Amino acid sequence: MKAYIAGKVRNELEREDLEEVAKLCENLGFETFLPHRDVGLAGGMEDVDRIFEGDIQEGFKNVDIVVALLDGLHIGAGTAWELGYAYARKIPSIGLKRDESVDEALEYLSAILVGSIKIVGSLGELEVELKKFRA
pLDDT in tens, 23-73: 999 999 999 999 999 999 899 999 999 999 999 999 999 999 999 999 988
Residues 109, 75 contacting (CB under 8 angstroms): yes
pLDDT band at 74 (very low <50, low <70, confident <90, very high): confident
CA distance 54 to 22: 18
Q: By residue range, what is the domain housing residue 42? A: 2-134
pLDDT value, residue 18: 97
Q: Considering its fold, how many domains does the chain have in total? A: 1
Identify the band that residue 79 occupies on the pLDDT scale cut at 50, 70 and 90.
Answer: very high
pTM (whole model) above 0.85: yes
Sorted by sequence, the CB contacts under 8 Å of residue 48 that are 6+ apart come out as 42
